Amino acid sequence: MKQYGFIIMRAQPFHYGHQHIINEILLDGRIPMILLGDDGGLNKIKNPLSYEQRRTLIQLVYPNTPIIFHKLQDKDNWSKWFDEVGHKATMFNSISIENIQFYYNHKPEDKYDAFECYGKEYTNDYYTQIFVDNDVKVKQVSFASKDDIKVHATATNIRNDIDNLKHLLDARVYWKLKEWGW
């Protein structure tokens, strides 16, 4: 039975931190399933790349790796969002939840003050707790060191200063972004 590892990311742009998590999925012998967050074009400054462009960047780095891609539309309701994640990860692909594991890495700024999902209140928590509470297997991917320059990347910093932070990007990604006018 095939095993899948899924990750939710925006990849605005795709950088070494994202690669590190995908590599962990591959090392675990799982097929990567990438759910690319999409705000519907509402914030072009924070989300300048289209779904297709982000998919292209990832495929540049993993040209011979089978990867399942899905667009994950932003929702204003966590229960609806989690339902869509489940739909994309399982029903859409006819994959049993037992064959899926969610991979993630947190930064302190990823915590939410308060949110609610399926009637449960979460306070000062990460959204990944929803997966744990709904019996989805999860794996936190740790970096060797937060000082490791190749994995301690943030898309916001890269967008703001791509030329000085190009060492946080695979060269193929950097040159494709430059080709696109970055």
Encode pLDDT of 117-170 as tens digits: 999 999 999 999 999 999 999 999 987 555 555 555 789 989 999 999 999 999
Q: What is the mean pLDDT of residues 100-112?
A: 89
Q: What's the pLDDT score for residue 139?
A: 97
What's the CA gap between 182 and 179, in Å, rounded? 7
Residue with the bigger pLDDT between 19 and 94: it is 19
* Extents of the domains making up the chain: 4-179
What's the CA gap between 82 and 131, in Å, rounded? 8
Q: What's the pLDDT score for residue 108?
A: 76
Give pTM, 2 decimals.
Answer: 0.91
- For residue 174, give the amino acid letter: Y
pLDDT, the chain, mean: 92
What's the CA gap between 137 and 7, in Å, rounded? 12
Q: What is the mean pLDDT of residues 35-55?
A: 94
pLDDT band at 75 (very low <50, low <70, confident <90, very high): very high
- Domain 4-179 classified CATH 3.40.50.620? yes
